Amino acid sequence: MDLQLNGKTAIVTAATAGIGLAIARRLAQEGAAVTLTGRDREKLAAAVAPQTDILINNLGFYEATPFAEIDDDAWHRMFDVNVMSGVRLSRHYFPMMLRNNQGRVIFISSEVGAFTPPDMIHYGVSKSAQLAVSRGMAELTKGTGVTVNSVLPSATRSEGIMDYLRQTAPQPGMTDAQIEAHFFATYRPSSLLARMIEADEIAAMVALLASPLGAASNGAAVRVEGGTFRSIL
C-alpha cells in the first residue's frame, strides 16, 4: 500500500532505539524525510529548526516505584520528560500546521494511559496526560487538514523492557520465554495476543495515522495493545 508520504518531512523524538527507531525506519521506507532526536535537550531544541509535516512525540521513560516513595522531583521529572517534551514541540509546530492546513501530530502514549498501574502511578498519570493533550489539540483542528492522535501500545519488545522483566522475575534462572509468559499470565491475563508486541507493529499503525490515508482518524486514542482492554470503546 502506498501511504503517500513521498516528499513529507517528519520528526521522531527518542528515535535511536525501540518504538521510535521502528517508526523512523517505517516513515523513511514510505518516502518521508525523517529527523531523528534522542533524549538530549540540545537535540530536541535542534529539532525545532526544520519545518515538518509530521511530528511523532515518542520521548518518554518508565520506572517502577512504590507510590509513597515517588517524591516531588520524581513526579516533576516524569511529567517534564513524558508530557512537556511533546507539549513544547507541539506548541512550536502545531500552529504552523494549522496555517498550512496540513500536518500530523501523534503522541506515543501507552496502554497505562487508560489504566494506572499501582507500581508506577506517576508513569500512568503522565501517559493519561498525553491523551488529554492530544484530544484537546485535536479539538482545535476542526475543518482543517491537520490531525492529532495518540497511540496506546502494550508491552513492546525491547532490551529495556526485557531487562526490567528479568529483574522482577519470580524465580532465578528463568528463560526470557518463561519470563514473558509469566508476565502475561500474571499482569496482562486479558491480552488476546498473549505476547510482546513488536516495535514494527506499532510503527505500521503510526505510519498509517501519519499518512493522508489516515485523515479520518482525529482526536483518537488508537489501541495497539493486543486486545488487553475488554471494553468495546
User: Annotated active-site positions, please?
Assistant: 123
Closest CA to 75 of 130, 120, 135: 120
What is the 3-state secondary structure of the chain? CCCCCCCCEEEECCCCCHHHHHHHHHHHHCCCEEEECCCCHHHHHHHCCCCCCEEEECCCCCCCCCHHHCCHHHHHHHHHHHHHHHHHHHHHHHHHHHHHCCEEEEEECCHHHCCCCCCCHHHHHHHHHHHHHHHHHHHCCCCCCEEEEEEEECCECCHHHHHHHHHCCCCCCCCHHHHHHHHHHHCCCCCCCCCCECHHHHHHHHHHHHCHHHCCCCCCEEEECCCCCCCCC
Measured CA to CA, the distance from residue 48 to residue 40 in angstroms comes to: 13
